[in-house]
Amino acid sequence: MAHSGLARARAILKDRRARIDELKHQGSKIIGYLSIHVPLEIISGLDMIPFRIIGDIREPVTEADKGLPAAFCPYMRSVLDLAIKEKFSFLDGFAMNHTCDAQEKTVRVLTSFVKFPFTHFIDMPSTVNDYAVDFYRTELADFQHCLEEFAGKKLDDDRLDAMISIYNEQRALVRRLYALKRPDPPMLSGGETLEVIMAIQSLPVQEGNVLLREVIAEVEERRQGGPEKSVRILVWGSVIDDPVLLDAIESSGANVVIDDLDEGTKPYWSDVAAGGNPLHRLAQRYLTGIYAARTFRDTGDGARKKDNFKDLSARYGYLKSMVEEWKVDGVLLQALRYCDPHGYEIVDMMDYFHFLNVPAIYVEHTYSEGGLAQIKTRIEGFVETLE
Amino acid sequence: MYFAGLDIGSTMTKAVIIDGDERLIGKLVVQTGPEHRRLANKVMVDLLAQAGLALSEVSYLVATGYGRVNVPFADAQTTELTCHAKGVHHLFPSAATAIDVGGQDAKGLRIKGGRMVNFVMNDKCAAGTGRFLEVLAESMNLRLDELGPTSLRATRSMPVGITCTIFAQQEIVSQLCAGIPVEEIIAGVHDAIATRIVRMTRLIGIEPDVVLTGGVAKNMGFVKAVEKHLGRSLLIPEDSFITGALGAALVARAKFSKESKAGTYRKKDRVLREATFFI
């Protein structure tokens, strides 16, 4: 029976590789990527298909000790574990990015265990000034050049521009989907949202856009939203790539109405600008247009010394808009154990939300199903303080 | 009118019945064991018998603790965080901070206006919980209730590593071999747990009055160690076990009142069954 909309998204997630395997069989090349900072427009522009690589929360990590220490990002350990178990051998290429130190080290180790026909490491700066954007543009030019050699063809500016439009279209569609979570109760749950986002990260961009349109039409037809719960939550932090993690939150008496996650709004919240050199616009958007814990933003002019709130607002002001527009009652900051980029943000973020008078809680997890009961107690306790 | 609270903790299960004026009608404290559902049924049966009540006379029942999802006859589930805060506030209206040290977890709570406003929990590591003391008692061939009086005989405390219960147990065996007096070792362990608990609670700020609850609060040696590290004296309930269950009963009363006013209260047709997962 042919599925459509949300049911189709769920079916795609049951077997993420199904469509990609079909396309590979038809001759397409699949390029895996871990980081949302890899410009997918370049990959698609050369008629290859970007495929988001994720971990597996249910797979016991038995091989990662061969390459990584135990006290290390559990998500990266899961990814390395899957690589050693040959779960990524279907990939024709692997596009890597310096998102964080843990990921940078892991991809080096991973590619020593698994030989892909194509690999490329994009060095991405951690700051957002003009020099950083220029540097990132030269890195992207190098990435494009190497990928062109692998593809056996060139990618001209017009084609890249066309890809930018298609990807911007996907971003706009995702934002339309999130707008349907503004009502109370939201028209689709956090769990359903995650399923749709994970599904489109498993499909070629145009097929993802078709799925998004189906889902939006289906949700707009709903006469009412999900269960009425008294508390609306924003979830921020490191990876949530499996519905079981979101279920732990949504079964605690809260609706996740908006998020700031790589498997949520982050890849879709800002567009690549129009007009001008496409590579420069990609560098601008993928480095400075995505607000991420790994990217340092300084208000400059010694502003932090004069006004801490001004500095915090420069870094987190986009979250204030989310809180206001989605009428958020409380913020759940969650991070993986040993995650330095997210972990180091917590103190300032708690300060920021304290300034805004928005309740916030920090919960750490280990990317394992077994530890969920303890997380649930903390989240339920937090929700009870908001009721 | 009666309200009940059932607190299924990792080690002990506590149950309380109160009346409409929040007076304690009955209470029960038993070991939890593995079969939460069968235990929940049995505890209710025994508690109702003690109080001379039928289950149908209980208007609202709230389950709390780790095993709260295993109480099919409960009207609602509420975290032990909220329940402990409510119980503490009822017993000590002046309390602003509560520390609960249970068999397998420890929590710090901030209470304001009778409600929990912030919390911190340690439930991933048994160091700093009753489990540490169980391991210690076993190593010493002592009963748990002998630890307190024994430690109070010590003139000094032997420092113990506080990272891990199992590592600490090895350290304790070495100390015994070296002839360190038992009371000094126990005093050292009390200090180690107290340090952890106070450090954890400082994360949410400590304001007086501070209340200590949980089974471990019956250990006077441990209480003295916490007071020393806090730099202030503690308030301790007469029965430090039942604060959570009492709080759950009070939450039950509040929910019943709220739902009755809103017209959403539905009396549950409760049946106590001998459910089990094991057969």
ipTM over 0.85: yes
What is the Cα–Cα distance from A153 to A119, expressed in whole angstroms? 17
Strand partners, B171: none
Does position B247 have pLDDT exceeding 90, yes or no?
yes
Query: pLDDT of A91-128, one tens digit each?
Result: 999 999 999 999 999 999 999 999 999 999 999 999 99
Of B66, B82, B124, the CB nearest to A381: B82
Listed in sequence order, the residues at least 6 apart from A194 whose beta carbon sits closer than 8 Å to its beta carbon are: A240, A243, A246, A263, A264
Q: CATH number of the domain that B10 lies in?
A: 3.30.420.40
What is the Cα–Cα distance from B211 to B193, expressed in whole angstroms? 16
Does position B111 have pLDDT exceeding 80, yes or no?
yes
Q: What is the mean pLDDT of residues A269-276?
A: 95
The pTM assigned to this predicted structure is 0.91
CB-CB contact of B56 with B245 (8 Å):
no
A377 near B CB under 8 A: yes
B77 plus B131 within the same structural domain: no
Q: Which residue of A has its CA nearest to B83?
A: A381
- Residues 38-67, chain A: which have Cβ within 8 Å of B? none
Burial of A56 (0-12, 13-18, 19+ CB in 10 A): middle
B117 near A CB under 8 A: yes
B264 near A CB under 8 A: no
Q: What is the pLDDT of residue B274?
A: 61
B249 plus B208 within the same structural domain: no
Of B66, B79, B124, the CB nearest to A381: B79
Of A374, A378, A385, the CB nearest to B116: A385
What's the domain count of chain B? Answer: 2
Q: What is the pLDDT of residue B279?
A: 36
Domain-embedded: residue B272 = no
Q: Which residue of B has its CA nearest to A366?
A: B124
**Where in chain A are the domains?**
5-159
Q: What is the pLDDT of residue A160?
A: 97
Query: pLDDT of B45-58, one tens digit each?
Result: 999 999 999 999 99
B147 plus B217 within the same structural domain: yes
State whether A374 and B118 contact (CB < 8 Å): no
| Per-residue exposure over B216-250, b if at least 16 CB sit within 10 Å of its own CB, e if not | bbbbebbbbbbbebbeeebbbbebbbbbbbbbbbb
Domain-embedded: residue B108 = yes
Does position B241 have pLDDT exceeding 50, yes or no?
yes
Strand partners, A284: none
Assign A247 a pLDDT band (cuts: 50, 70, 90): confident
B112 plus B174 within the same structural domain: yes
Domain-embedded: residue B170 = yes
How close A249 gets to chain B, by Cα (Å)? 14
A378 near B CB under 8 A: yes
Assign A229 a pLDDT band (cuts: 50, 70, 90): confident
A365 near B CB under 8 A: no
Does position B271 have pLDDT exceeding 80, yes or no?
no
B222 plus B254 within the same structural domain: no
Query: pLDDT of A143-181, one tens digit each?
Result: 999 999 999 999 999 999 999 999 999 999 999 999 999
Q: What is the mean pLDDT of residues A137-141?
A: 98
B253 plus B196 within the same structural domain: no
Residue numbers of the domain that contains B156: 94-230
Domain-embedded: residue B237 = no
B72 plus B110 within the same structural domain: no
What is the Cα–Cα distance from A265 to A357, expressed in whole angstroms? 23
Does position B278 have pLDDT exceeding 70, yes or no?
no
Q: Average pLDDT, whole number, for chain A? A: 93
Q: Residue A8 CB: number of other CB atoms within 10 A?
A: 19
Does position A299 have pLDDT exceeding 80, yes or no?
no
Q: What is the mean pLDDT of residues B111-134?
A: 88
A315 near B CB under 8 A: no
State whether B123 and A385 contact (CB < 8 Å): no
Task: Report the percentage of chain A scoring pLDDT > 90.
Answer: 83
Q: Which residue of A has its CA nearest to B84?
A: A381
Domain-embedded: residue B276 = no
B73 plus B121 within the same structural domain: no
State whether A377 and B78 contact (CB < 8 Å): no
Long-range contacts of B223-232 (CB under 8 A, 24+ apart): B223/B148, B224/B152, B224/B190, B225/B187, B225/B190, B225/B191, B225/B193, B225/B194, B226/B99, B226/B194, B226/B197, B226/B198, B228/B191, B228/B194, B229/B191, B229/B194, B229/B195, B229/B198, B230/B198, B230/B206, B232/B208
A289 near B CB under 8 A: no
Assign A62 a pLDDT band (cuts: 50, 70, 90): very high
What is the Cα–Cα distance from B225 to B221, expressed in whole angstroms? 6
Q: Which amino acid is at B152?
A: L
CB-CB contact of A95 with A103 (8 Å):
no
- CA distance between the termini of chain A: 43
The SS3 of residue A347 is helix
Q: What is the mean pLDDT of residues A173-193?
A: 95
How close A371 gets to chain B, by Cα (Å)? 9
| DSSP per position, chain B | -EEEEEEE-SSEEEEEEEETT--EEEEEEEE--S-HHHHHHHHHHHHHHHHT--GGGEEEEEEESGGGGG-TT-SEE--HHHHHHHHHHHH-TT-SEEEEE-SS-EEEEEEETTEEEEEEEE-S--TTSHHHHHHHHHHHT--HHHHHHHHHT-SS------S-HHHHHHHHHHHHHTT--HHHHHHHHHHHHHHHHHHHHHTT---SSEEEESGGGG-HHHHHHHHHHHTS--B--SSTTTHHHHHHHHHHHHHHHHHHHHT-------------S--
Q: Which residue of A has its CA nearest to B65?
A: A377
Q: Which amino acid is at B6?
A: L
B106 plus B225 within the same structural domain: yes
Domain-embedded: residue B236 = no
By mean pLDDT, which of A66-70, A244-248, A296-300, B80-84 is the weakest? Answer: A296-300
Second-level CATH architecture of A5-159: 3-Layer(aba) Sandwich (3.40)
Does position A321 have pLDDT exceeding 60, yes or no?
yes
What is the Cα–Cα distance from A233 to A193, expressed in whole angstroms? 14
How close B116 gets to chain A, by Cα (Å)? 6
